[in-house]
Amino acid sequence: MKKLLLLPLLALAASPCAALAEPVRDWRDLEKVHKHVQESIREMERARAANHYDMDGHGAKAEALLHDVEHELHDAIESAKRAR
């Protein structure tokens, strides 16, 4: 039941972000996102270590997904640099 209530709230929270997001114009924009993802990974590692629990495995899964995103962004940046 709680999950059903959270879904509309998450959708409402994400919609302004999508509307206000600027389009990516250059590989430097992607590099800024890449740095932000790296910062998020460090914050996730600190949060998991400080709490001494893994949130039923969701913390580890979120961290793994952030690492996947970091890898894909790195590949996208390198591809964009080669295209120039």
pLDDT digits (tens, 9 = 90+) for 3-30: 555 555 555 555 555 555 555 567 778 8
Pairwise CA distance, residues 76 & 21, whole Å: 19
pLDDT digits (tens, 9 = 90+) for 29-84: 888 999 999 999 999 888 888 877 667 888 888 889 999 999 999 998 888 888 87
Q: State the pLDDT at residue 14.
A: 56
Instruction: Give residue for tokens 């994400």.
Output: 14
- What DSSP string runs through the chain? -HHHHHHHHHHHHHHHHHHHPPPP-SHHHHHHHHHHHHHHHHHHHHHHHHHTS-GGGHHHHHHHHHHHHHHHHHHHHHHHHHH-
Residue 48 near residue 33, CB atoms below 8 Å = no
Q: State the pLDDT at residue 29.
A: 84
Structure tokens that stand for 40 in this block: 């998020």
Q: State the pLDDT at residue 71.
A: 93
Residue 68 near residue 22, CB atoms below 8 Å = no
pTM for the model: 0.61
